[in-house]
Structures are given as structure tokens and as C-alpha cells.
Amino acid sequence: MVARALVVGAAVGLIAAIACGPTQSARCLPSNCNGCCDAKTGVCRDGRSTAACGELGATCADCTLTGQLCIDGACRGDTGGEDFDAGVDAGTDAGSTACGPSTCTGCCGSDGECKPGLAPAACGANGGVCTECPSGMVCVNGSCQNPCTGCHDAVGNCQPGTSVSACGANNSLCVACQQDQICDNGICKNTTCSATNCPNGCCNGTTCVTSTSDQRCGTGGQVCMACASGQTCQSGVCTGGSTGDGGFPGLDGGFPGLDGGFPGLCSNCTSGCCNLFGPNGPECVPYADQNIALCGTGGAFCAPCDIFSGQLNCTMGVCK
């Protein structure tokens, strides 16, 4: 009884620890970034760096390309020996020049200052007058455009998001699919599963399963196999058995008297997984209620997804 309690307690701790793992950051947008959005990483920067200059959620500009400084979220002046006043006010301060095509790569605001020209509230380029984009439109490279339904590349251009070299959807950052993958509705998917694209897991059809379980065990791109009764999957290898090899001494590789499973605890659970630690005891978790902490199919024990290997979703009982 004591050994069983220790095993169950350890399982609860493992699931809780993984469920509380790192989460994805929200995509950088004008609505959640006061600085500028890094086009390469999608991260919100403070917008005050010469190499990452901008404000109001616009795409960061590299002022070093034009030999300018980043002042108040805009590339202005130059880095030479001229006396440039950081307090420039509509081009009237000593050492400053008026905003225009020769001094501003973005757009000129109503206050006479040069803006990045990449925000919907102040959109423009080449020193022209900033304009406010109509509701529902976005500013891309100084031009008001409809939102991108595909993906945007490293310089901010909208791509269809349907090619293997630029795959993505819903204005996400385009990614290049791996070899032997296709771009399906903006998502890179495997056409085959082998040791080449699944070196740390097993193949369930064309799906690489890196978070292996007793029901789907394997490694090196082998076909996933169910472990024999009384065995457990350890690092992709079924271990344990009647001698307790790889398990707890005297527990036959599982829990006493249960032959490595829990018969009848989650009956009729073919479209979900069995959660041993439900609020009212063991319960079947259907696909619609599953998450990265509780994922599985065919009535197998629910298991957490391997978020450290990039598995951030549980779809129809499979971690992806």
C-alpha cells in the first residue's frame, strides 16, 4: 500500500510539473507592444535601440543602415560630427532639420516629427505625410493593407503561407518546413515518418510521437508498439515484466495485482484517455477536453505532451 501511494504521488507530481511548464508568448502586435515588433523573432522590443527602433507596435527599423540615431522611436539625424539636438522639435531647434524626404525614411507626423511609418495610426514612407489606416487595415512597409491571412516574412511582406519555404497562417511568422514535409493549411506536416525526421520518437503512421507511452513506445523512427502486459515504456524501450526489470521490485513492472494496468477504471473510453487522478477518481477524458497535460487515445492512460520538444497542442489524442 505504501509503495503504491508513493508511485501514484510521483505520477501526480510529474503531471503537475509539466502542466505548469513554459507557455508561448503572445504575438507582438500594436495592441500589446508600446515599442516595436522584431520581424525576425516576433518579440516586442523597447524601440529605443539604434538597431531596433520604433514605437506603437510597428516593425523595428535598423537605423544603422542609414547612419542615423534612434530618437523617440524614429531614425533621425546622423552619427557623424554634426550637432544633432535630441530634443528636435519640428525642425526648429539648433542643429536639426525639418522632416521630409531627405531626412525621414518613415513619415512626417502632424507635429513635424519623423515617425517610423509602420503603425496603423501613423503609416507612411519616404518622408511623406503620415496617414491613419482605415479600421481593420494594417500598415505594412508604410502602406495601408488588408490583414495578412497567410504569413509575413522576415521583412514584413505578406506571403500566401502555402509553400514549404514560407509556411504559415493568420499573420504568423513564415517558417520553412523540414525535408519530407508539406505545407497544409499553413502547418508543416510530415508525409512520411522515419528515422530522418523522427530520431527521438516512434512513428504512428505518418505522425512522429516523441512523447511515448506504454501504448505507443519506440525510438529512432521505429513503428510505435504497445508494451506487453506488466511492462512500461522507458526512453522509448519497453522494460519490466515478471521479474520487475526496470520497474519497482516486486511490483511486476507496474502496480500490484493490476498486471500493469487498471482494468475497468475507464471502460468505454475509445475516444479519449484515462485520467487516473480525476476529481472523483479515474475518469475518461474525451478529445474535446484534452490539453497538453492530459493527452491520449484509445482509453490509454492520459500523458503530458513533451513541450520541450515543441509539442504545444493535443489534437485528437495526439501531441503535436
The C-alpha cell of 142 is what? 508604410
pLDDT band at 50 (very low <50, low <70, confident <90, very high): confident
> What are 21-40's pLDDT values in tens digits?
444 457 888 888 888 888 88
Domains of the chain, by residue range, sit at 28-147, 159-190, 195-260, 262-320
pTM of the shown model: 0.31
The Cα–Cα gap between 64 and 87 comes to 20
Strand order across the 172-173 sheet: 158-159, 151-152, 172-173
299 to 204, 215, 313, 317: CA distances (angstroms): 16, 10, 19, 10
Is pLDDT of 189 > 70? Answer: yes
pLDDT band at 78 (very low <50, low <70, confident <90, very high): low
Q: What is the reported pLDDT for 267?
A: 67
Q: What is the reported pLDDT for 91?
A: 37
> Are 292 and 312 contacting, i.e. CB atoms less than 8 angstroms apart?
yes
Is pLDDT of 146 > 80? Answer: yes
> What are 298-311's pLDDT values in tens digits?
778 888 888 777 78
Is pLDDT of 265 > 90? Answer: no
